[in-house]
């Protein structure tokens, strides 16, 4: 029989006063000893979550770039085929009335390119 090494921790959270305090004075702006605001703003951009890409955004991109419309079902089918995360739709049904239709090749390519443009893939 194989035993795993495990560690259990119990953490008590309290409202205890800190043992010590460090006061830090920071000056923002340009010049020696000051922290430039532009650098902080640039660094903060790296930590911002990416905006959620909607099917509507993909549809608008494809129509603008390729001149044709794509149905949301085609977008879902492409995402499914790529193994991307799918969210439950509020109008989803347990059983489909008819089998899913495979989107035409040019629409698959356009949707895939849109997903790359929006950095989903």
- pLDDT band at residue 81 under the 50/70/90 scheme: very high
15-73 pLDDT per residue, tens: 777 788 888 888 888 888 888 888 888 888 888 887 889 999 999 999 999 999 999 99
- Match 């035993």 to its residue by tokens: 3
- pLDDT band at residue 118 under the 50/70/90 scheme: very high
For the segment 95-99, the average pLDDT, to the nearest whole number, is 78
pTM of the full predicted structure? 0.59
Considering all CA atoms of the chain, what is the largest pairwise distance in Å, rounded to the nearest integer?
70
The pLDDT value given to residue 62 = 97
| CA separation for the pair 29, 36 (Å, rounded) | 5
Q: Which residue has the higher pLDDT, 84 or 16?
A: 84
The dihedral of CA 51, 80, 77, 108: what is its sign? positive
């Amino acid at each position: 029989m194989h035993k795993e090494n495990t560690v259990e921790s119990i953490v008590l959270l309290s409202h205890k006063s800190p043992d010590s305090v460090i006061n830090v004075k920071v000056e923002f702006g340009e010049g020696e000893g000051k922290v430039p605001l532009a650098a902080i703003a640039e660094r903060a951009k790296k930590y911002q979550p990416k905006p959620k890409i909607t099917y509507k955004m993909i549809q608008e991109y494809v129509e603008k770039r390729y001149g044709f419309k794509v149905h949301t079902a085609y977008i879902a089918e492409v995402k499914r085929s790529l193994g991307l995360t799918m969210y439950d739709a509020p109008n989803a049904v347990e059983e489909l009335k008819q089998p899913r239709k495979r989107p035409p090749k040019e629409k698959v390519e356009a949707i895939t390119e849109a997903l790359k443009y929006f950095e989903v893939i």
